Structure 1
Amino acid sequence: MFPEVFQVLIIGLLIFLPVVLIYKKAGFHPAWAALVFLPGFGLLLVFMQLALQPWPNLRDKTEHLR
């Protein structure tokens, strides 16, 4: 039981940390990266959020160009 739990935790952290950095660079709050730990579709939700929502950092740059 414990080896499987540790494997899942390690894999989750290996995915979680880069997603936190991506959220920071995109301008989102890094706590959204906790969606990775939702079983089944957490990573899908992260990808959908990053793909479909306008990024706050890009919004600032486009307002500057106007």
Structure 2
Amino acid sequence: MYVFPEMGRIIIVALMIVIPAMLIYRKAGFHPAWALLVFLPGFGLLLIFLQLALLPWPNQKTNDRSS
């Protein structure tokens, strides 16, 4: 009946990963399109974690108390 039922599952799981990653990137100050790295087979999610962990965030608040 369904032509590609596994393709539907793949799309749903991908959206369950990409949408939260896009929200995290937007909150951190990066462009949300970086979340598409998830689709790189094998190490896409690792690249996302490394980028968020090692790069300085543009929206990071500084703790300057010059008085």
Same fold, judged at TM 0.5 (above): yes
- Identity across the alignment (%): 65
TM-score, length basis structure 2: 0.83
2:7 maps to which of 1, 5, 8 = 5
Per-residue deviation at 1:41? 1.0
User: Corresponding residue for 2:26?
Assistant: 24
Matched residue SS, 2:59: helix
Structure ID, larger Rg: 2
TM-score, length basis structure 1: 0.84
Alpha carbon RMSD of aligned pairs, Å?
A: 1.6
Count how many residue pairs are aligned between Structure 1 and Structure 2: 63
Matched letter for residue 12 of structure 1: A
Displaced runs of 4 or more, over 4 A:
none
Matched letter for residue 28 of structure 1: F
Note the residue ranges of structure 1 that are not aligned, 5 or more in a row. none
Q: In structure 2, how many angstroms separate the alpha carbons of the residues matched to 1:53 and 1:47?
A: 10
More helix by share: 1
| Residue 37 (structure 2) pairs with residue 35 (structure 1) | yes
